[in-house]
Structure 1
Amino acid sequence: MSRSQPNSAEAKWSGNAPMTADDGRKAPDAPGSTYPDAAQPEDEGGAQNSQRLRRLTLLLDYARPYRGRVVLAVVALVMSTIASLTLVYTLQPLIDKGFAGGQAGAVDRYFLQLFIVAMVLALATAVRFFAVTTLGERVVADLRKAVYNRVVGLHPSYFEANRPGEIVSRLTADTSVIQTVVGSSVSIALRNILTFFGGVIMLFVTNAQLMATIAIAIPLVLVPIFVLGRRVRRLSRSSQDRIADLGTLAGETLGAINVVQAFTQEDRERGRFSHSVEGAYEAARQRIWVRSLLTAVVIVLVFGAIDFVLWQGAKDVVGGTMTGGQLAAFVAYAVLVAGAAGAIAEVYGDLQRAAGASGRLRELLKAEAAITAPDDPQALPAPVSGRVSFEDVTFRYPSRPDAAALDSLSIDIAPGETVAVVGPSGAGKSTLFQLILRFFDPQTGTVRLDGLDLRALDPADLRKAVAFVPQDTVIFADSVLENVRYGRPGASDAEVERALTSARADDFIRELPDGIHTNLGERGVRLSGGQRQRLAIARALLRDAPVLLLDEATSALDSETEKAVQAALDTLMAGRTTLIIAHRLATVRAADRIVVVDKGRVIALGSHEELLAASPVYRRLADLQFATQSRAAE
């Protein structure tokens, strides 16, 4: 299974700053500070417009490797614009010398020129379309890969402050906006800007007096573009935010569809989704209305000015101060200029949306990992013996800085020893696993593997020495083979099959439609909880790591299957350092030692019998948690 691995070379990310909305305000449900370079609120003035558009420089960074394609697109764009203006330029002599002058040869010559120019226009347009569209696809593909590669290596605390659904929306919706802009809108904008200014120049050349009148109307066109354009930008941002919320809601509900249906909450979720859809529609409707109004206002003002100017031109033709060919060419240039102005007004909103999307994607690209490899990482011994030590460790989660998850905790676990960790909910059991995997670093104290401070190791090397079986099993939407091979991507099919057999998973896999090649669906929905857990155990078996972390890996199994899998786990644990978050009496009794944790401290350590006699906390846990199991075993 091809999945990106965290990039250990990424710079350190600090501050746990959440993602922000396009205007620099905190994103919904995202506590904490914003990035220092986030844009200021939109109402602070027109100076912010250029600041937002400067965010499009992100696209230039990703287009730079494809300079040849950019140059080809620009050349084709210039050629197509010149060809368009040349078509109009040919009208004046065609009318004055060919039609009005009665020169048959001139008619033939000018129509041939028109055909040649049209062929140049067609070729240049085709080249421009191909170059620009493929450039847009390429830039967006590279941008998506870069964002995903960055996000997949970020620290777990980043996802506490930023919703995964929001991140996925940025990878899809925001990049789609950029794809539209790079592959279409930028080209349209540049072409029409060239056409606009080229047409204005030709209008002056054709008749400077009439053009002076049009020049008075140009500011009347620009004012509504910028005034209404700001309103379009705000509504576009709101629309994108509503779409992101919609995707988050749908993903959350469909990911928990069993719970939704078990509690008969289908109608409630339909109502929530419908309300969210209507909110997204209303935001889009307002945006479309303002954009429609902007387009209408620009067209009315432009064509109103042209109508007035043409009225004057017609009077000049009648008065003999202007030829019919000049008026026809002037009209054609005026139409080109008006059309270009209208197109610029339309794509201006797209460019603003792309600027907002680029800003949001830039935030992801600038987010840095909190856990990184040191400049000169120490190497683990070969082979790793598996001694794990916690030395006076105190740790607080970044999202809960006032509560110590571990408080001056010390444990030394010998190589090959099996240690069960028990304690009430919130005692800090799972935090031990988080620190061993170095998802977090302690604020004080040291965690060591084979005597080496974990902070001195490359996190990738450390994690290769650890196999982890979580209680909430993670199954990817892929085949059985690739899900198990996730533990060691280079493993052969035969090694995967042996791991499945050892995990007592081969029996139900043989019954699947395509055996080990059966796709298990999203989150393994085609399997039962016990089957998913056996696949996770097979994955850990294949990992073959010296340190094993088990978050009660048999909790979802029935009694018969548990005995079979426990035998496989006994084989797996032999010779390996094993930490088990224990919830079952059999697991506790099989451990070499039991560590009782409460409020982040080790309060007792010993065997089951020793702790029953010496630890009130363990005795209470045993009475509450293990009594039923003990009676069932008897």
Structure 2
Amino acid sequence: MASAPKADRIETSSPAATEPPRKLSKLALLWGFVRHYPGKLIGALIALVVAATATLAIPRGFMLVIDKGFAGAGGTGDIAPYFYGLLAVVGVLAVATACRFYFVSWLGERVVADIRLSVHNHLLTLAPGFFEENRPSEIASRLTADTSVIEQVVGSTASIALRNIVMGVGGIIYLFTLSPKLAGMLLLGIPLVIGPIVLLGRRVRSFSRASQDRIADLGALISETLGAMKIVQAFTQEGREAERFGSAVERAFGTARMRVAIRAVMTAIVIGLIFGAIVLVLWEGARDVAAGRLSGGAIAAFVLTGGLVAGAFGALTEVYGDLLRGAGAAGRLAELLEAVPEIKAPAHPVKLPEPPQGRVSFDQVTFFYPTRPDLAALVDFSLEVVPGETVAIVGPSGAGKTTLFQLVQRFYDPQQGVVKVDGTPLPKVDPAALRARIAVVPQESVIFAASARDNLRYGRWDAREDELWAAAETANAADFLKALPDGLDTFMGEGGARLSGGQRQRLSIARAVLRNAPVLLLDEATSALDAESEKLVQDALERLMQDRTTLVIAHRLATVRNADRIIVMDQGRIVDQGRHDQLIARDGLYARLARLQFDAAAA
């Protein structure tokens, strides 16, 4: 297996979208989701302000206890009312904090759910080519790891940041009411605090993005290795895969270590500057108390408030790092949301003719895959398939056979020429309307981790029970489906693990029967089956092909002898066509391929 490719390959509508986030503006993506829940947002903000205000009220309560209670009437004053006031403030603080926690946590979970839905639904609109250029496992990492970072930002970090901003600003205002001179001295240290945040924050941003990319690499490696575990063990490459994964883990750790180290340095500098400034200011405050210019309660309140302000700004330095991670995650998710579908319905789609005919045509088509722009998959290719005709497509590997299926379903558009169905150029048609007229039986059956019923209904989701069983009978699948423990409601397992290869193929055929489409694309489904399964599948296919326009990719030439026409392809071109006997008589490429297969079978 090749080493995992780089993760940063998502194509978007904007070149700037692929750059690392330079500032917190990437978090604007989150606001687009949060603003849909104004009630919860307002509730969270009110609770936040109340909690911050109650926290700042505690130092004033202590000031009253000291100045009015202990110091009042020679130290014999009644201090109970002031402690009652403090208890009331604590009660308000507890309730407001609980409300804030509930609202912001709810918002965090809801926003993450909405982002996952939006990204997933947008991914469903993208053409298959997007997933050939960008690893699905890396995209899955963005939907899991990055959204977890977003949940932390919305459900915790943003709330903490706002609370500390309110406490910091409110605390500074209160400090000025206690002693403008001391508060002014304390504020002189703020520019010294902001400097390291700005300078070191840039490094944190780059390492945050790199750290998330390395985590995505880990997910891709795990998915690749687990998906090919039989090959790994068959070729005894466990040691190499362990070493490869270990190297990726160490790279991820190294990147994370640098990010953590820079954040630690930034935190140390900021905390040292803040509390150093507080110590110096308190030194001056103590001299004011000694001189009688400040009361004992006021200096106590100043100390407590100063500690809260210092803690607020200190917490902001840590929160800033988390916000930067959130900006990186939001930027990566935004890249997915900004990816523009290359294949989409036109503004005014043309309706396909009714009733459906099943005519398929290629007119001078030249096509290059996006991942192979220097090698043409089809070159000036023309083919007309009339309704009801069965056309077999044969040729060596890489001849362009599968490409025809991709273009008929409009997973790609050719660079030159046009593909038509029922006489209508495909770019003028809604892809959903086009694909509704096509049924596909792939060589490798795709069975979802769901019930047999849901796998069948993929052909037509509103099919009735009797229609499901009729399709199963046509596909020679009814017997084994009835034998399942829960019938059609039996869970199929990952990739249809509960079924044999022949059973999976017959389930795919039943799905195509339910589709009841005029055009059938058949990537020969019997090439990897035993003789008994092949006979059952071949009988089912023959019933499915009746009265339909059928394109068959033929891997085994013995199965296409009865085709109405055989198209022989090589290097993206048609090199011969005709019936089996005609092609054998010409002694060309088809005859050579046939001799190779039939001689091998005889041997």
Same fold (TM over 0.5): yes
Amino acid at match of 1:478: A
Are 1:336 and 2:336 counterparts? no
Q: How many pairs align?
A: 598
Deviation per CA, 1:237-274, whole angstroms, max 9, x where unpaired?
22111100000000111112222222222222222222
Q: What are structure 1's unaligned runs of at least 5 residues?
A: 1-25, 43-47
Residue 40 of structure 1: how far off its partner (Å): 5.4
Partner of 1:490: 462
Aligned equivalent of 1:581 = 553
Q: Is the 8 A contact 1:596 1:605 kept in 2?
A: yes
Cα distance, 1:411 vs structure 2: 1.5
Larger mean Cα displacement after TM superposition, 453-462 or 619-628:
619-628
Show CA shifts across 1:358-413 (max 9, x none): 11111111111111112222222333121111222222222223322112222111
DSSP 3-state at the match of 1:550: strand
Query: In structure 2, what is the equivalent of residue 184 of structure 1?
Result: 156
Specify whether residues 516 and 41 from structure 1 end up closer, same or farther in structure 2 by C-alpha distance, changes over 3 A only.
closer
- Checking the alignment, whether the CA contact within 8 Å between 1:583 and 1:625 is kept in structure 2 is no
Q: Provide, for residues 185-226 of structure 1, a one-character-per-residue CA deviation record: whole Å limited to 9, x for no partner.
A: 001001101111111111111112222221222222222222
Give, in whole Å, the separation in 1 of the partners of 2:111 and 2:133: 29
CA deviations on 1:6-29 (whole Å, 9 max, x unpaired) are xxxxxxxxxxxxxxxxxxxx9547
Give unmatched runs, 5+ long, in structure 2: none
**Bigger shift: 334-343 or 552-561?**
552-561
Take 2:206 and 2:343, find their aligned partners in 1: how far apart are those partners?
A: 37
TM-score by structure 2 length?
0.94
1:308 pairs, out of 275, 280, 287, with 280
**Contact 2:47-2:97 within 8 A present in 1 as well:** yes
- Alignment-derived partner of residue 546 in structure 1: 518
Q: CA deviation at 1:106?
A: 4.9
Tell whether 2:509 aligns with 1:537: yes
Q: 1:626 to 1:431 in 2, by over 3 A?
A: farther
**1:96: how far off?**
0.6
Which stretch of structure 1 is more off in the superposition, 301-310 or 188-197?
301-310
Deviations 1:450-474 (A, max 9, x none): 2222222111011011011111222
| Aligned residue identity for 2:85 | Q
Between 310-319 and 141-150, report the one with greater CA deviation: 310-319
The answer for the alignment partner of 2:127 in structure 1 is 155
Aligned to 2:31: 60
Matched, 1:221 2:175: no
Per-residue displacement from partner, 1:137-190 (whole Å, max 9, x unpaired)?
A: 111111111111111210122122211122111111111111100111001001
Change (3 A) 1:458 1:104: farther
- Amino acid paired to 1:38: A
Question: Bigger shift: 184-193 or 195-204?
Answer: 195-204
Residue type of the alignment partner of 2:61: T
Q: Which moved more, 1:68-77 or 1:462-471?
A: 68-77
Cα deviation, residue 512, structure 1: 4.2
- Cα distance per residue 1:8-59 (max 9 Å; x no partner): xxxxxxxxxxxxxxxxxx95474989942237578xxxxx4xxx21111111
Report what 1:614 is aligned to.
Answer: 586
Deviates more, 1:83-92 or 1:421-430: 83-92
Residue-by-residue CA offset, 1:496-541 (whole Å, 9 max, x unaligned): 3332333233444455444433323322334333332222222212
The answer to whether 1:598 aligns with 2:570 is: yes
In structure 2, the residue matched to 1:98 is 69
Residue of structure 1 in register with 2:322 after alignment: 350
Counterpart residue identity of residue 505, structure 2: Q
Query: d(CA) in 1 for partners of 2:271 and 2:298?
Result: 24
Distance 1:41 1:78 in 2: 34
**Equivalent residue, structure 2, for 1:7:** none
- Looking at structure 1, the residues matched to 428 and 209 of structure 2 have their Cα atoms a distance apart, in angstroms, of 44
554-563 or 428-437: bigger deviation:
554-563
Contact 2:225-2:241 within 8 A present in 1 as well: yes
Is the partner of 1:90 in helix, strand or coil?
helix
Residue in 2 that maps onto 1:38: 17
Shift of 1:230: 2.2
Residue by residue over 1:77-115, the C-alpha shift from the partner in whole angstroms, topping out at 9 and shown as x without a partner, is: 111111111121222122111111147665222122212
Identity among equivalent pairs (%) = 57
Q: Secondary structure in 2 aligned to 1:590?
A: coil
**Is the counterpart of residue 446 in structure 1 residue 418 in structure 2?**
yes
Q: Give the aligned residue type for 1:170.
A: R
Report what 1:116 is aligned to.
88
How far did residue 574 of structure 1 move?
0.5
Native 8 Å contact 1:132 1:187 kept in 2: yes
1:84 to 48, 55, 77: 55
For 2:110 and 2:455, locate their aligned partners in 1 and report how far apart those are by CA, in whole Å.
30
Does the 8 Å CA contact 2:20/2:209 hold for their aligned counterparts? no
Distance 1:33 1:53 in 2: 20
Question: Structure 2: which amino acid aligns with 1:186?
Answer: A
Range with bigger deviation, 335-344 or 81-90 = 81-90
Query: 2-side partners of 1:542 and 1:39: how far apart?
Result: 43
1:330-374 alpha-carbon deviations (Å, 9 max, x no partner): 001011001101110111001111111111111111111111112
Corresponding position: 1:263 with 2:235: yes
- What secondary structure sits across from 2:35 in the alignment? helix
Residues 204 and 32 of structure 1: CA distance in aligned 2, closer, same or farther (over 3 Å): closer
Structure 1 residue 428: deviation in Å?
Answer: 0.9
Taking the aligned partners of 1:465 and 1:261, their CA distance within structure 2 comes to 43
The 2-side partners of 1:543 and 1:396 are apart by 30
Relative to structure 1, the CA distance from residue 31 to residue 310 in structure 2 (aligned partners, 3 Å threshold; closer, same or farther) is closer
Q: Matched residue of 1:471: which SS? A: coil
Q: Quick one: which amino acid aligns to residue 419 of structure 1?
A: V
Q: Tell me, in whole angstroms, the C-alpha distance in 1 between the residues paired with 2:394 and 2:6.
A: 38
Would the aligned equivalents of 1:420 and 1:587 in 2 still touch at CA under 8 Å?
no
TM-score by length of 1: 0.90
Moved more, 289-298 or 458-467: 289-298
Query: Could you tell me which amino acid in structure 2 is paired with residue 94 of structure 1?
Result: V
Say whether the 8 Å CA contact 1:260–1:266 is kept in structure 2.
Answer: yes
> Is the partner of 1:65 in helix, strand or coil?
coil
